[in-house]
Structure 1
Amino acid sequence: MLYVYTGTDREKAKSAMQKEVERVAKKEKASIVRISDAHTIADLRAALQGGGMFGGKRVVVLEGVLANEDMNPILSDAFPLLSESADPFFIFEERLDVATRKRVEKYAKESERFDAGKKWEDRSVFLLGNALKREDKKALWVGYLREVEKGSAPEMLHGILFWAAKSMLLAARERSAEQTRAALLVGRLAELPHESRRKGMDMELALEHFVLSTA
């Protein structure tokens, strides 16, 4: 059985999923297995293969796995098997592209979406991008801390900074110092999610290191 929870309101989506995971685990007297994009491909394959004849009942929770470019095809190919599995599988993803969403929902027994709505309309988060553009080191650091305290998802903050860096690159004059700086920022921000996964580092911590090194 396959259950899917998605949306930019991470707190609500994960809370709803966790309640259902605990309910099912209690009902089935099952152990809970959790796999995230910080785990290895071997960990993911082991979770997908099942607990075996003597492994006992399991509830498997997969968080952020589809966002990992190496893990994505492995999990995507397993959707048909997971839909028929006796073990319940729960997937959480903040965002899915249209093709992946259609495919996973085709095999899901249930799919729920929790988008943040008005929270995304809070324009203060875009001050981070403006601070990056202005090279205002203090405003960038203070703004980042403010967003963390508000509970803004690190993936969202990364997206804002990446958008700002790309805007700088497009607006910069050819072969100017601004173009060089913007290209460097775009490259670093593009690599950041992959680097954090390789090092087993939380995205929030990786982003903090970026802000500090930039500030």
Structure 2
Amino acid sequence: MTARIDHTTTSGTFSLDGGTWDVENNVWVVGDDEQCVVIDAPHDAAPIAELIGERTLLAVLCTHAHDDHVTVAPELADRFAAPVYLHPDDVELWRMTYPEGEFFPLADGQTFPVAGIELEVVHTPGHAPGAVCFRAADLDAVFTGDTLFQGGPGATGRSYSDFDTIVASIRSRLLTLPPATVVHTGHGPDTTIGDEAAGADGWTKPE
């Protein structure tokens, strides 16, 4: 069977630095009819579980530990007997939501086989210290969480984030991918590496 990308959105809130904002998050499920992985687990387990269906869930892969991306990660892990993976540089953010919860560590260059393809971990700090992207070269796709959106870098105005770091990550780790690579983001519409590279000279640090 051929690997495919399934998608849904969930709505909820994001809280950090004493503020709370309403957000809508993308959820990506990569696999075939037999097995899959989930990339980010925000807000509500029900629509994610519906996408998984009767398949074997191999892992819940977190692009970073902001609470809107990991809201139901342990719940899904328990329900489907699957491990949660997160880059260890995000442990402080993780502990804000799950003081006792555990996860398995992600490492740059690590690969996850699923449905005959591989997802490669690409460490892209900046939006969060442990932010990662997952590249699926066989699908001409990369899942960027909140690192890269249509129109440029993710937000860096809150704790644990840095504009210069995120731009360096994007330029060195993402814009070097083939221009036709589809960028599946954590919020909002898809884009491509080529489209974002074309506008990269205009990226400026927010005031």
Q: Same fold (TM over 0.5)?
A: no
TM-score of the two chains, using structure 1 as the length reference: 0.31
Structure whose CA Rg is larger: 1
Query: Which has the larger helix fraction?
Result: 1
Higher RCO (CA < 8 A, seq sep 6+): 1
The structure that is strand-richer by fraction is 2
Q: TM-score, normalised by structure 2?
A: 0.32
